[in-house]
């Protein structure tokens, strides 16, 4: 009886094309909730996912530990997540949705800002340290691994000594705002490439551009 039930369960799951973990991806854009943070450099993860959602004509809905949206592309299911836990507790939301949707960590992509890259520079990495980023640090500690992809968007480091926090939580300059639309479109293309073409091709195509 146990074997029969197990067999039936597997058959039922096989009929659900969303169950295949190799075809499901979690894209987590990091940021802080609240209108006061909406146009700040630290919220570029949210902004990139908003751009991608607009391109796909989908909307975000409030759910547990964040706002979520999803779309399908060429047989792959993509879940977009904007954690509502604030930046320093991003790991809780990421872990919850990985487990709930049965998505392997190899299919996780975290989108975040990076002070060490010039404004608008894109860089995909498959592993590594948190680089001093509190959101990445919390994800690493919560999921217990550095082996997940992260997409870093350069915000530059044009700040004086002791002003890093003000810079990161500051709004984009007029010049940056003028260039952002093209950079956001390029960022959305990077995410689609990660899902469809895989990380290696994506890194070769987009890194440093």
Residue 42 a catalytic site member: yes
Helices 174-196 and 199-206 sit at what angle, rounded to 10 degrees? 150
Question: What is the DSSP pairing of strand 108-114 with strand 24-29?
Answer: parallel
Handedness of CA 192, 194, 198, 200 (dihedral sign): positive
Backbone angles phi, psi at 136, to 5 degrees: -65, -35
Query: Could you write out the DSSP letters of every residue in 130-158?
Result: -TT-HHHHHHHHHHT-S-SEEEEEE----
Pair 51, 192: CB distance under 8 Å: no
- Could you give the C-alpha distances from 208 to 81, 129, 156, 199, in angstroms and in order? 25, 19, 13, 14
User: How many whole angstroms from its chain centre is CA 49?
Assistant: 8
The helix/strand count (H/E) of the chain reads as 7, 7
Pair 19, 102: CB distance under 8 Å: yes
**Which of 24, 41, 42, 47 is labelled catalytic?**
42
Residues carrying an active site annotation:
42
């Amino acid at each position: 009886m146990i074997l029969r039930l197990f067999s039936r369960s597997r058959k039922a799951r096989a009929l659900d094309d969303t169950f295949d973990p190799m075809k499901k991806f979690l894209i987590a854009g990091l940021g802080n909730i609240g209108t006061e943070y909406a146009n700040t450099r630290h919220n570029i993860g949210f902004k990139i996912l908003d751009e991608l959602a607009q391109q796909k004509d989908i909307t975000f809905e409030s759910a547990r530990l964040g706002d979520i949206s999803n779309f399908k592309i060429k047989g792959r299911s993509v879940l977009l997540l904007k954690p509502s836990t604030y930046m320093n507790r991003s790991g809780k939301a990421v872990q919850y949705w990985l487990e709930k949707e049965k998505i392997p960590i190899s299919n996780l992509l975290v989108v975040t800002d990076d002070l060490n890259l010039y404004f608008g520079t894109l860089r995909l990495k498959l592993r590594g340290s948190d680089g001093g980023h509190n959101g990445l640090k919390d994800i690493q500690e919560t999921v217990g691994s550095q082996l997940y992809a992260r997409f870093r968007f350069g915000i530059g480091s044009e700040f004086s000594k002791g002003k890093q926090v003000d810079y990161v939580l500051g709004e984009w300059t007029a010049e940056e705002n003028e260039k952002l639309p093209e950079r956001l479109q390029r960022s959305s293309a990077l995410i689609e490439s990660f899902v469809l073409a895989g990380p290696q091709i994506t890194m070769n195509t987009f890194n440093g551009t």
